[in-house]
Amino acid sequence: MALAKITLAGMRPITKKNHTERTRSGATIQSKAYRDYESSCLWLLKSQWRKPPLTGRMNLCARYWMPNRSGEPDLIGLLQATADILEKAGVVSNDKYFRRFDGSEVVGIDKHNPRVEIEIELLEG
């Protein structure tokens, strides 16, 4: 049974680790593209999620639709970014509770509605 079903629509899903830049001092920070994506996701999540953060062993199923094949990301990077954003938005108390990612995939292309569809389920035991 799903604890949460969330859709983050209208923006290209972006990985966190492959989108970095260096500051003048030489520090590595997330790129503007990733920061903009994260900010948009946080705004959407905070407008949709009004419950206490989820805890316990969970499965995160995230299905990604990209606007095109340009710079097609890797699934692991997308999952890492999604888990971090869900934690930062207060949907989950800690992304360490994601023990499985069953069903997650880069589905394909939807140039008119890039998105990630998220389903979080509690695991038995």
pLDDT of residue 24: 81
Given a contact cutoff of 8 angstroms between Cβ atoms, the answer to whether 120 and 58 are in contact is yes
Q: Are 72 and 31 in contact (CB under 8 A)?
A: no
Q: Note the pLDDT of residue 18.
A: 65
Q: Which residue has the higher pLDDT, 27 or 66?
A: 66
Per-domain residue ranges of the chain: 2-122
Residues 51-102 have pLDDT tens digits of 999 999 999 999 999 999 887 789 999 999 999 999 999 999 999 999 999 9
Strands 115-122 and 58-66: antiparallel
User: Within its chain, how far is the Cα of 25 from the centroid?
Assistant: 29
- Fold category of 2-122 in CATH: 60s Ribosomal Protein L30; Chain: A; (3.30.1330)
